[in-house]
Amino acid sequence: MFLVIGYFIGGTFPPSNFTGAAKESNVVIQQQPQQVQQQTVKFQIPSFAPSKGSDSAQFNIVEFGDYQCPFCEKFFQQVEPHIKQDYIDTGKVKFYFLDFQFLGPDSETLGQGAWCANDQGKYYDYHDYVYSHQGQENSGWATPDKVKTLAANILELDLQKFNSCLDSKKYETLVQQLTGLGKKLGVSGTPVVFIGNDQKGYISVVGAQPYDVFKQVIDKQMS
């Protein structure tokens, strides 16, 4: 019984309303004929999403994350450096971080801050800095004022422009839309990492799993 319940919540299956959502967003689920069925999802990465890595990379790693989630922080600290060294720096994959800001208003503020930093080409500087200095969930470390203070430590970021952008909430809808995209793909928690490309589709890995899990999925997709 535990297994059955766990299977349904673990993110391997899309939610029951997924079919409807899939029609709207051209998200397609395919099953592979294997001993243990593994589902792939096909979707388009938003063209405006900033990435780390070579433009000629054949495969993508797309992380849906929340800036307040401790498991995303663990993924950032313990898994991302290995992925960077073995796959991003070698030109094999491109890495994308997309918002799935669901842990409260502070998460949304942090998400908006990333896009304000992106206006100045500092999306991943901001991403890396926030995860390196993450506080406890909803403890008040990421109120708009605190986010501005955090951003002040990012090298060569024009703080005046950043602050004005954050105050304007111009990226509020974008953060919500990206979170909505994650939901359509079956994301119900963070981090969820999609590995693949447009042709092969994407296999998802739920949670801050050991690096070897990600390595095996990447290698399988590349083979």
Partner 1 sequence: MSVIMMKNALQSVFRKPTYVISSILISSFMFFIFILANNFSTFVTVLGLNSSAKLLVEVITNGAANILYASGAALFSSIIAVSILSGITISMIIYQLRITRSSVGKKNLAGFGGIFGGAFSSACSACSTTLASVFGVAGGLAIFPLKGLEISLPSIGILFASMYFISKSLMESGRCKI
Interface residues with partner 1 (CB under 8 A) are 2-3, 5-12, 32, 34-38, 66, 69-72, 74, 102-103, 137, 188-192, 203-210, 212-213, 216-217, 220
- Least distance in angstroms from the C-beta of 213 to partner 1: 6
- Least distance in angstroms from the C-beta of 167 to partner 1: 28
Report the C-alpha gap between 144 and 194 in whole angstroms. 30
* Amino acid at the residue 107: S
Q: Which is nearer to partner 1, 14 or 53 (CB)?
A: 14
Q: Which is nearer to partner 1, 119 or 137 (CB)?
A: 137
Smallest Cα–Cα separation from 95: which of 126, 66, 122, 124?
A: 124
Q: Which is nearer to partner 1, 25 or 78 (CB)?
A: 78
End-to-end CA distance of the chain: 35
The answer to whether the bond into 191 is cis (omega within 30° of 0) is yes
- Least distance in angstroms from the C-beta of 156 to partner 1: 31
- Least distance in angstroms from the C-beta of 25 to partner 1: 21
Cα dist from 48 to 4, 115, 146, 158, 210, whole Å: 39, 11, 27, 21, 30
Rounded (5°) CA angle 6-11-17 = 110
- Least distance in angstroms from the C-beta of 54 to partner 1: 26
DSSP one-letter code for 189: S
Q: Which is nearer to partner 1, 38 or 120 (CB)?
A: 38
Q: Which is nearer to partner 1, 53 or 65 (CB)?
A: 65
What is the helix (H) or strand (E) element at residue 109, kind and residue range?
A: helix 105-118
